[in-house]
């Protein structure tokens, strides 16, 4: 997979995890707080790296 496609895939994958985490928190589906924090931290680092 090209570097561009890999970055896009990773971004889409992490964004999907963020969306799932947000929905789980809203519904109280038992996603661990530390897991949610790790997902958001990974996405935040990914966004920072693009700038």
Tens of pLDDT, residues 2-47: 666 666 667 888 888 888 887 777 666 666 677 778 888 888 888 8
Q: What domain range includes position 16? A: 3-50
pTM of the model: 0.46
Contact predicate 14/46, CB 8 Å:
yes
Q: Which residue has the tokens 């997979």?
A: 1
Q: Give CA–CA dist 46/48, Å, rounded.
A: 5
Give me the number of domains the chain comprises. Answer: 1
Contacts of 11 (CB under 8 A, 6+ apart): 46
CB 3: neighbour CB atoms within 10 A? 7
Q: Give CA–CA dist 23/15, Å, rounded.
A: 12
Q: Give CA–CA dist 2/44, Å, rounded.
A: 23
């Amino acid at each position: 997979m090209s570097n561009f496609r890999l970055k896009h895939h990773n971004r889409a994958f992490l964004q999907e995890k963020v969306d799932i985490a947000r929905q789980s928190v809203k519904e109280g589906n038992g996603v661990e707080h530390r897991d949610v924090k790790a997902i958001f931290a990974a996405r935040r680092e990914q966004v920072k790296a693009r700038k």
